[in-house]
Amino acid sequence: MSIYAYIFTMALTTYLIRVIPLTVFRRPIKSVFLKSFLHYVPYACLTAMTFPAILTSTAALLSGAAALMVAVLLAYRGKSLLTVSLAASAAVMVTEFLLAFVK
C-alpha cells in the first residue's frame, strides 16, 4: 500500500473524529454527568498515552520511575511545566549515571 493511502486514511479518520460530534450534538449538553465526563476525557487519554512512555523510554525502569516521582512531586507542589520537565530530565540523568557507576 502506498504512503499516500496511509496519509489519506489518517486524514479522513482525524476529520471524522472532529466533525461527527459537531453534527450529532447540535444543542448544548445539559446533563451535568455527561459534561463532567467529557471534561475529564482529555486528561485520561493523555495519561493513558504518557504514563507507559515515561517508564519505558529510558534505559532502565528505575530511572523512569525516579523521573515520574520527581515530576509528580513537583507538579503537586504547583511548580511550572518547565521546572517539572527539567527536574524530571535531571532525575533521569542522575539515576542513569548512578546505575552506570554501580555496574
The pair phi, psi for residue 67, each rounded to 5°, is: -65, -40
- The mean per-residue pLDDT over the stretch 30-37 comes to 89
Q: Could you tell me which residue, 29 or 70, shows the higher pLDDT?
A: 70
Dihedral in degrees, nearest 10, Cα atoms 87, 93, 98, 103: 150
pLDDT for 33 equals 92
Other Cβ atoms within 10 Å of 99 Cβ, number: 15
CA distances 4 to 11, 15, 32, 66, 92, Å, are: 10, 16, 43, 41, 39
Four-residue CA torsion sign, 55, 57, 58, 60: positive
pLDDT-derived band at 32, boundaries 50, 70, 90: very high
- The mean per-residue pLDDT over the stretch 1-24 comes to 90
- Cα–Cα distance between 70 and 66 in angstroms, integer? 6
pLDDT for 42 equals 86
pLDDT for 20 equals 87
0.85 exceeded by pTM:
no
Q: What is the pLDDT of residues 62-100, one digit of tens each?
A: 999 999 999 999 999 999 999 999 999 999 999 999 999
